[in-house]
Chains A and B, each alone.
Chain A
Amino acid sequence: MRNPLRSEAEAYRFLWLTIVYFAAIVLASLVGGRWWGVGVFVLLTAVGAWLFLRREETGEMTREIPARRPADQKRILVVANETVGGQTLRETIRDKAAGGPSQVLVVTPALNSPLKYWVSDEDDARAAAQLRLDASLARLAADGISARGEVGDSEPLTALEDALRTFGADEIIISTHPEGRSHWLEQGLVTKARERFTVPITHVVVDLEAER
């Protein structure tokens, strides 16, 4: 079923239609009595239902469905946050991308505090994630890997799902800190992602302290 209200503008129009609808019923009741009110109620409800169904039939698609990728091109989706610039991760991406044309999308979730998350104040978190992402993309480019990046939702599973909607990945790489230092591993991110997505998933552990 098509969603009848897609934006604030449509909700605003809906409010005015509600006002007109009830004003007509009240006027009919005051002028002609209760049964006139009932009659106007039935008439307007029938007209409203007819217009809604008619709109449903003639509704147009307003959002393009993402185009299919070329059959010979491999798409790799990488999800990493603080480990996004790690040597182990870059080597894994390079290995996966070798052997043919490929596209790499790196998604860095914008980690945020719960309070800022609930009040939608995520600009600072997104800016910090963007800085990490830019540095990582520059390192990947220096290694000869062409990749693009996006800052994603603070919740990594949601960030993954969002990215998959526009990027039909053949493979997902999830990069985390080692066990014991990784919140994502503590939350069971890799297991949950494997349960939720059909795409093969590779888990890369990056020990930034050992790499220094």
Chain B
Amino acid sequence: MAAAHAAAEHEHHGPPAPHYSSRVSPSVLGMFLFIASEIMLFGAFFTAYFFVRVVNGTPWPTPPFHLPVFVAGVNTAILVTSSFTMHWALQSIKRDNHNGLKAGMLLTFLLGLTFLVTQAREYSRIGFNTGDGAFATIFFCLTGLHGAHVFVGLTLLLFTTVRAFRGHFSSAHHHGVEIPGIYWHFVDAMWIVVYTTVYIL
């Protein structure tokens, strides 16, 4: 016994004792670190946008092209509404209201899908393509990058919605709703930035 203990003592290795230095649960912290890297990714595209539009002085939108500001505005309202329903879904499950969770998740998913389908339809009708100058390239890069994030968010929402209908969540266990919710709000916030800079200003 003593020999075994001595052998075990000999096996001491490495790092200090673990602690909650971040004071946030590891899964939530992981999602925020992921979002930070995403902000850097979008930042690279916005830098390109800045150089094309401000430094080079490229007309925005470059004539004869036009941007569908109204349709994109309606799409923005749809996306912001989806954040509201997402928040409602989480608040519902925190109160053990399973019907509220199901309705909230289903509405969030459908609103997100509507946004993506509308954006795809606008792409097909917009009248220019990625090869039609720097303006068109940056437009498709920024909105397309955001659209890809909406697609990923919809995938997460789909999993969460299916799990909500299978009764996987409760007031004590709802990380599977909280984390996609954080991601979805991030996607919405990024769209506000994209819509304002690309379509409005």
Contact = CB atoms under 8 A, between A and B. Distances in A.
B153 interface: no
Interface string B101-130: 000000000000000000000000000000
Contacts of B19: 65, 165
Interface string B71-111: 00000000010010011001000000000000000000000
A141 interface: no
B28 A197 contact: no
B30 to A, nearest CB: 11
A78 to B, nearest CB: 14
Contacts of B16: 198
A202 B15 CA distance: 18
Query: Could you say which interface size class chain A belongs to?
Result: 35 or more
A14 interface: yes
Contact of A3 (B4, B17, B29, B193): B29
B193 A18 contact: yes
A120 B176 contact: yes
Interface string A155-177: 00000011011001001000000
Given A29-B201, A120-B176, A8 B196 contact: no
B12 A198 contact: yes
A7 B18 contact: no
A200 B9 contact: yes
B112 to A, nearest CB: 14
Interface of B: 1, 4, 8-20, 22-24, 26, 28-29, 32, 80, 83, 86-87, 90, 159, 163, 168, 176-178, 181-182, 185-186, 188-189, 192-193, 196, 200-201
14 contacts: A3-B24, A7-B178, A11-B181, A11-B185, A12-B83, A19-B80, A29-B201, A37-B201, A61-B23, A120-B163, A165-B20, A195-B13, A200-B12, A202-B4
Please provide the 6 A-B residue pairs with the shortest distance between their CB atoms, ordered closest to farther. Answer: A8-B181, A200-B8, A11-B185, A22-B196, A18-B189, A11-B182
Given A9-B90, A123-B168, 20 more contacts: A3-B22, A5-B32, A5-B182, A8-B177, A8-B181, A12-B86, A14-B185, A15-B83, A18-B192, A18-B193, A25-B201, A95-B1, A121-B163, A164-B18, A165-B20, A196-B13, A198-B12, A198-B17, A200-B11, A200-B12
